[in-house]
Structure 1
Amino acid sequence: MVKKYDDSLISVIKEKEYHKNINDVDVLVKPIPDCNIPGAMDPRLYASAKKTVFMMKFIPKRLLKMDASPKSIARLRKMFNSVDSTPMVEEDIVVENHICLTRDSFQMPIISYTPKVRNKNVPILYYIHGGGFFAGHHGVVEEAMKLLVEKTGIAIFSVDYRLAPENPYPTGHEDCYDGLKWVHENARHVDGDSESIFIAGDSAGGNLTQYCTNKALEDGLSYVKGQMLLYPTVNMGGISDEYVDFDINKIEIYDKHAKAINLSLGMFGNSSSMLQDLLGTDNILSKYLTPYSDVSPNLPPTYVTVGEHDFLAIETLAYARKLVKAGVDTTTVLYKGLGHAYIDHVGNYPQSEDCIDEMARFILKYS
């Protein structure tokens, strides 16, 4: 129950944060709390990344290839499915397992997280994990969900949808939408407010979140009060327009950390090329897979966050710009010195806890 950083670093992040206009978007920038070098990697992340850079020297290049082959998928799943958080939640959080019967009668697991002492009619968060549509599970972000419950007293449901390629598109997307409707129907079981539901997801889960929100709009469902997109995959179709040009050179990189940062960018930066094969569809430009292509002005308030050195940073900030241009109430947060998947590292990085604080503030503001 001991996190790997001092609480003072959380305070420093909040004291040093500032607003910056980036391409007409008001971005809340969160600096590294204990490093002022432009383009540097967070020292905690760099300590881990250095080891990876060293180990990569001894791994055959053929084993680093990312494709949709069974061997590659199995290797990547082993990596993506690992839990790398540190238990830090002190309160007793009630964890319960539920089953949602999907449209094709699949018994889909949904896990709820609630305080031991519950209030009535609390907001509900419906969380969708990431993992490239082919990996991941609720356990990867479980400590983050518990921490969010501890800080807010809300109820959270986390879904384990079916994964590609065994379950091609639109199975996983439809699973998540079926889960949203199940949460609405079963809110009373956790003393939740069925008319105050927020959806959140990281990476591929951000794509699935936007899918659910878009479908809810189409179906006239009014209970989605906000969505939170954590470094989301929103432009799988690779659309290049006035908002985004995919110029990786725009990412500021400290020379001494370049190998570690470029390794991360290079390792996952081309992964979108395999998603079409994984999902088993030729319609990758569909607004349901590439929500960047069609942004509705009727979307609910949206929280967007990404790390400075994330391979999805350019498209995430471009998407935030499109949301703002469409008139969507948008909150954008950029973490300096971080890459991808920081919500997975609660208890390890102070920024992960700060992200939970920002999510909590967003939910309480709009509920």
Structure 2
Amino acid sequence: MAVPPLDPDAAARAASFGPVPPMRQRGLSAVREAIESAPLPPDMPEMAVDEREASGGIPLRIYRPTRDVTAPVVVYFHGGGMVLGSNHSFEPLARELAAASGATVIAVDYRLAPEHPAPAQFDDAYRATEWVGDHAAELDVDPTRLAVAGDSAGGALGAAVALAARDNDGPVISCQVLLYPGLDRDMGAKSITSMPDAPMLSLDDIIFMHDLADGSAGTPHEAYRVPAYAADVAGLPPAIVVTAECDPIRDWGERYAARLRDAGVQTTLTRYPGMYHGFLMRSDATARGRLAIAEVGALLRAKFAHPVPFNGHWAAAT
């Protein structure tokens, strides 16, 4: 099975990059430079932005679409395979999430591999989430309406933080937003074997980033690094899962969503037709990207407006 046809907007966006050599051929430094030097869209949503540091010196960028001192809060982890990306390069997505949801979005500039071997990325994500919960008053956010969100590798971090918070009586997370999450390591997934040369993310690119992130330790088997390995997903917070039809890791997110549902976790899964991996990094480039941001934002607004009581665990959905 070949890659499904791209949506016309998505095809135009992919074509605008021209032929892109594999990451392995370009080298990590060149790929990082390309991502960080890419121009940001000129018409990003306007809002107040400030910088803070969580405990341990973890850089945070805070996006405030409202002056509400009891605004809900979304702790956001950017994508990039644990080896790429930053709060700068993923600023468009963070701003769009804030504007669409009406929540304060706090983006976490976690340490990257291979310079900082795992579990540094998870450690930063979890510590930052704890810090936000503990400092909600000074941040002018509502700790009872705290969500985590992430795209690609950031989606894996969001899922891992939700697991760890459940397991360790950590911050009460009201929702986990997993955008085409890279939370598995099954290279035999049908979406991967049928689309090894998919646009924007190829099988070789996936392996290249995993090799860098894993280092000499090899493939990890801990659930906080690969959430698909979690033995039990019951009692996790409600989930919003987004996948893209033309994404080789599509099945990873959809299988995790199915596991959550089977375990009684309230879960919304949406697959966007004709979209490639990473389509929300620049949601303004496609009509379906704009739709996806609006729909995720509406779901978050609804969950924040009508929070489900938390009684030490999340009750199973019926």
TM-score (norm 2): 0.85
Deviations 1:130-158 (CA, angstroms, capped at 9, x unpaired):
11101101122322322333344321100
Classify 1:152/1:173 alpha carbon distance in 2 versus 1 (closer, same or farther; 3 Å). Answer: closer
Residues 282 and 152 of structure 1, relative CA distance in 2, 3 Å threshold: closer
Q: 1:352 is matched with which residue?
A: 289
Unaligned runs of 5+ in 2: 305-318
Aligned equivalent of 1:128, options 58, 62, 77: 77
Determine the structure 2 residue equivalent to 1:269: 203
Q: Does 1:49 align with 2:14?
A: yes
Q: Identify the match of residue 98 of structure 1 among 42, 52, 58.
A: 52
Identical counterparts, % of pairs: 25
State the partner residue of 1:155. Answer: 104
Structure 1 residues 89 and 301, CA gap change in structure 2 (3 angstroms): same
Which segment drifts farther, 346-355 or 159-168? 346-355
Change (3 A) 1:296 1:113: same
Corresponding residue number in structure 1 for 2:310: none
Residue 24 of structure 2: which of 35, 47, 66 is its match? 66
Q: 1:82 to 1:340 in 2, by over 3 A?
A: farther
CA RMSD of aligned residues (A): 2.5
Choose between structure 1 and 2 for higher RCO, CA contacts under 8 A separated by at least 6 residues: 1
Contact residue 85 and residue 347 of structure 1 kept, 8 A: no
Contact persistence 1:85–1:348 (CA under 8 A): no
Counterpart check, 1:341 vs 2:278: yes
How far residue 49 of structure 1 moved from its aligned partner, in angstroms, is 2.7
Amino acid across the alignment from 2:203: G
* CA displacement, residues 108-143 of structure 1 (integer Å, 9 cap, x when unaligned): 21010113x512322100000011101101122322
Supply the AA of the counterpart residue of 2:9.
Answer: R
Matching of residue 109 in structure 1 with residue 59 in structure 2 = yes
Please, which runs of 5 or more residues in structure 1 have no aligned partner? 1-37, 57-62, 252-260
Cα distance change on mapping 1:39 and 1:64 into 2, 3 Å: closer
5 Å-filtered alignment, 1:185-224, equals: 185-224=134-173
Structure 1 residue 283, shift from structure 2 partner:
5.1
Deviation at 1:85, TM superposition (A): 5.0
Aligned residue type for 2:214 = L
Relative distance call for 1:355 and 1:84 in structure 2 (3 A) is: farther
For these two proteins, the number of residue pairs brought into alignment is 299
Q: Distance in 1 between matches of 2:17 and 2:129?
A: 38
| Offset from partner CA, 1:311-361 (integer Å, 9 cap, x none) | 111222122111111221110011111101111113222222222212212
Equivalent-residue separation in structure 2 for 1:65 and 1:121 (angstroms): 43
Question: Which whole-Å deviations, capped at 9, do the CAs of 1:58-117 have from their partners, x for residues lacking one?
Answer: xxxxx63628xxx72112212343446523345x41100001122xxxx221010113x5
Moved more, 327-336 or 277-286: 277-286
Greater C-alpha Rg: 1
- Contact kept, 8 Å, 2:113 with 2:212, in 1: the verdict is no
CA distance 1:157–1:247, change in 2 (3 Å): closer
Please name the residue that 2:227 is paired with: 291
Is the Cα contact below 8 Å between 1:276 and 1:284 reproduced in 2?
Answer: no
TM-score, structure 1 normalization: 0.74
Q: Which amino acid aligns with 2:33?
A: K
